[in-house]
Amino acid sequence: MPDVNHRSAAPQTMLYLLGVNLPDDKVVSIALTRIYGVGLKTGQTICHKLGIHPRCRLKDLPEDKVTKLSALLNTMQIDAELKRETRNRIGAMVQMGSYRGARHKAGLPVNGQRTHTNRSTAKRLNGRWLRMREFSSASRVTSGPSPSTLSRMVTNTFAPVGRVLSRLL
């Protein structure tokens, strides 16, 4: 006898749109926020442009509206294009040597945030902290003389100076 209190877990269907899975059971404007570069306000604006009711769920959307939605999203700069554009702009700031570019390069807060407390967090999140502290595997690669060779080089370099100083004193 089946348990009446147990809900059957129906698989959640997803609409695959422009390389992103959008959940069918969500309101259209909310579901669109899963796409990088589309926030809540942009999602609401898109729904208004296409004449989609604010409470309409993605599963209730007719096929012609899905086609129009896809066409409209294709005209916008979203997802990979937007990420590439952002990366290029940051690279240009670093290239020209602007203050913001230097902050990006150093992994520090860029938009005027306080650095008294969150500087270390920003650096840690950007991975710079690990490289500076030599915890990453990339920074452990040694390129130079061994410690014993280095000590011999220092001794041989400063030996003549010691002899000259002993003659003067």
Please tell me whether the overall predicted TM-score, pTM, comes out greater than 0.85 for this model: no
144 dihedral zone (left: phi>0; alpha: psi -120 to 50; beta): left
pLDDT tens digit sequence for 37-91: 999 999 999 999 999 999 999 999 999 999 999 999 999 999 999 999 999 999 9
Largest Cα separation within the chain, whole Å, is 106
| Residues in CB range of 92: below 8 A, 6 or more apart | 101
Please determine, for residue 137, whether its predicted confidence score (pLDDT) is greater than 50. Answer: no
pLDDT at 27: 97
Could you tell me the domains of the chain? 14-78 (1.10.8.50), 81-136 (4.10.910.10)
- In this predicted structure, the answer to whether residue 164 has a pLDDT above a threshold of 90 is no
CA dihedral angle for residue 23, residue 84, residue 138, residue 102, rounded to 10 degrees:
-120
